[in-house]
Amino acid sequence: MKNLVPYSSARDDYKGSEGVFLDANENPYGSITPEKWNRYPDPYQRALKARIAEIKNVDAAQIFLGNGSDEPIDLLFRAFCEPGVDNVIINPPTYGMYKVSADINGVEAREVLMTKDFDLNTEGILNAVDERTKIIFICSPNNPSGNDVDLGKIEQVIKGFGGLVVVDEAYIDFTNRASFADRLAEFPNLIVLQTFSKAWGLAALRLGMAFCSEEILSILNKIKAPYNLSGLTQETVLKALDNIASKDEMVSDILKNRTDLKGQLESLDIIEEVYPTDANFFLVRIKDAKLVYKRLIEQQVILRDRSSVVLCDDGIRITVGTTAENHALIEALKRL
Ligand SMILES: *Cc1c(COP(=O)(O)O)cnc(C)c1O
């Protein structure tokens, strides 16, 4: 990997923006759409990163943008893990993509279960580390449990491990703690993941962010697909970032609905436990979870059955919806 010569695109060879561009075999006339998409997009998404840097208070030189968070997750395996030799550590129950990406890349994912209240087993994690452990994945707020894990424990793992630590903050907008992105200078082995798929309401555009040291970033940039983010995504998100107020308003509505929904769920006999959440969803324990899941689908209310997931017996994950959607859920549960 150190000796890899990355693909050099036309936009790498000549970086200016004025002139007669006959270098990339593009169509000179335009596109078959009303808008013009005939020119290749900026491979390093500079305009978008400059704006995200302001919003996130992170140096633009420490931002990687990918096709969803899934892209940086996959690239980390490809960049830093030797298939069949190296391993990573994950903390089930957690986001499924870390394990899937490990499997695809032929890398062992060592599982250190969370505690019963869904916190990190720091001792277990650090004991599971050996000389071939390259990455530890921590998800906070954690999916599917919803809670922020103890921040001191995250810090303990980052400080106690010589390899890379990924802190996945996909749900950071719904919690009131500070982001670990504020602490990149302190921890050169830290990679913070965030996404536009949840709070920003842009899941279909596929835009994920990784914040990390410039050393890590330079390696990710070397192995990513040259034009990994479409021009449509870059331009649409750049425009959307003029409208942060609308995101804030949606987040505050979701937080209000979260409080209301919690009370409503807790008042139902069928719900055995509503776990604490710092995200836009709840994990609940419910009698006969699989049956309830199916009966709700018959009423066209679709939840996420997590009852087969470790430590999530009888668990169902419920996304906080609009007031009307949450009402539909509660009415459907009452009918059961
Ligand atoms: C939803 C989610 C993501 C976001 O994935 P994208 O590929 O950016 O849409 C990342 N991590 C976790 C834990 C999630 O739940």
User: Which residue type occupies 212?
Assistant: C
Q: Does pLDDT of 15 surpass 90?
A: no
Task: Supply the pLDDT for residue 251.
Answer: 98
Please state the rounded mean pLDDT for residues 170-179. Answer: 97
> SS3 sequence, 98-110?
HHHHHHHCCCEEE
The pair of structure tokens assigned to 50 is 């400059």
| Neighbouring C-beta atoms of residue 310, cutoff 10 Å | 12
Over the stretch 30-81, which tens digit does the pLDDT of each residue have? Answer: 999 999 999 999 999 999 999 999 999 999 999 999 999 999 999 999 999 9
Separation of CA 333 and ligand 1 centre (Å): 28
Nearest residue by C-alpha to atom 4 in ligand 1: 69
Cα angle, residue 216 at apex, residues 63 and 76 outer, rounded to 5°:
95
Over the stretch 80-127, which tens digit does the pLDDT of each residue have? Answer: 999 999 999 999 999 999 999 999 999 999 999 999 999 999 999 999
> Which stretch of DSSP H or E encloses residue 234?
helix 231-240
Over the stretch 154-164, which tens digit does the pLDDT of each residue have? Answer: 999 999 999 99
Q: Does pLDDT of 9 surpass 90?
A: no
Separation of CA 69 and ligand 1 centre (Å): 6
Task: Supply the pLDDT for residue 307.
Answer: 97
Please state the rounded mean pLDDT for residues 241-254. Answer: 97
- Band of residue 17 on the pLDDT scale cut at 50, 70, 90: confident
Q: What percent of the chain has pLDDT over 70?
A: 100
Q: Does pLDDT of 2 surpass 80?
A: no
Answering whether pTM is above 0.95, one says yes
CATH 3.40.640.10 for domain 10-242, yes or no, is: yes
The mean of the pLDDT values for the chain is 97
Ligand 1 pocket residues where CB is under 6 Å = 68-70, 95, 139, 143, 168, 170, 195, 197-198, 203, 208
Separation of CA 110 and ligand 1 centre (Å): 21
Nearest residue by C-alpha to atom 11 in ligand 1: 170
Separation of CA 65 and ligand 1 centre (Å): 13
| Rounded-to-integer distance, Cα 223 and Cα 6, Å | 7
Place of tokens 């013009």: 36
Half-sphere exposure of 294 (CA within 13 A, CB side): 4
Q: Does pLDDT of 1 surpass 80?
A: no
Separation of CA 196 and ligand 1 centre (Å): 9
- Burial grade of 36 (CB within 10 A; 0-12, 13-18, 19 or more): exposed
Please state the rounded mean pLDDT for residues 301-308. Answer: 98
- Band of residue 259 on the pLDDT scale cut at 50, 70, 90: very high
Task: Supply the pLDDT for residue 10.
Answer: 86
Residues comprising the chain, all counted:
336
Give residue limits of the domains in the chain: 10-242, 245-335
Cα angle, residue 275 at apex, residues 274 and 281 outer, rounded to 5°:
90
Closest CA to 154 of 172, 140, 144: 140
> CATH fold of 245-335, please?
Aspartate Aminotransferase, domain 1 (3.90.1150)
Q: Does pLDDT of 167 surpass 80?
A: yes
CB 270 within 8 A of CB 287: yes
Please identify, by atom number, the ligand 1 atom nearest to the C-alpha of residue 70: 7
